[in-house]
Amino acid sequence: MESLGKQITIDRGSPVPLYFQFAQQLQHLIETGVLPPGTRLSNEVAMADQFGLSRPTMRQAMQHLVDKGLLARKRGVGTQVVADRIRRRLEFTSLYEDLERDRRRPSTEVLSIGTAPAGAETAAALRLEEGSDVVTIRRLRLADGEPIAILHNHLPPGLVELTREALGESGLYPLLRRCGVGLSGADQTIGARRATAAEARLLDESRGATLLTMVRTAHDGSGRPVEYGSHVYRASRYSFAMTVAAH
């Protein structure tokens, strides 16, 4: 991009590393809207030549911004400025509802739905015998057509009847409420780990990319567990937000 040459300057006499000088200035152009979401950047070889930097230095600068979630590398497309990161408040809502509220055009690909024996962790969460049949659902959630999360849910048998069509058009919690299942609260744990190769392919991330994790057990009004979820989210495109009160 020729216009970048007029907006990014490299000071070779500065103690600041060259890659960081370039990355900081490019980040400023992204955050101020000079380079809006979707902007395609030239390849790293061409940019290195344009700014008189070595290819490893340019690669390090670009990777720095990829790791911060400001740039994304896409197969067949190249490097692009990404859309604003989705920030989700830690409330008892479904991801689908949160995306609808933020006008991010949620959509769902149902990867699988069926019945399977409950493992030890799932059985304990749902207060069932290990090996008992549970309903298992695996979905890919998208926002504005971009993959955001892989959702893996487990429900006690006979609770509700769910179809691929219904799950593709709505979030799980709204469907439960429509079927008369009252939801009163949930216990949840937030963490992080590296993506598997299969997860990276589904989420359009590089293998080993960092994913946020959330494990949640939802309860009805009587305190009975009605859903156990284990989800992963793209850390480059997603974050959780919370308010902490002082005592």
Q: What pLDDT, on the 0 to 100 scale, is given for residue 226?
A: 92
Is a pLDDT exceeding 60 seen at residue 91? no
- Which pLDDT score, from 0 to 100, does residue 90 have? 46
Determine contact, residues 62/54, Cβ cutoff 8 Å: no
| pLDDT greater at residue 99 or residue 46 | 46
Q: Is the pLDDT of residue 206 over 50?
A: yes
Q: Sign of dihedral through CA atoms 115, 118, 122, 124? A: positive
Q: Which of helix, strand or coil describes residue 43?
A: coil
156 pLDDT exceeds 90? yes
List, in order of start, the domains of the chain with CATH numbers. Answer: 2-81 (1.10.10.10), 86-241 (3.40.1410.10)
Specify the pLDDT at position 240. Answer: 61
- Band the pLDDT of 96: cuts 50, 70, 90: low
Query: How are strands ordered across the β-sheet holding 133-143?
Result: 106-117, 133-143, 146-155, 225-234, 210-219, 185-194
Q: Average pLDDT in the 133-161 region?
A: 92
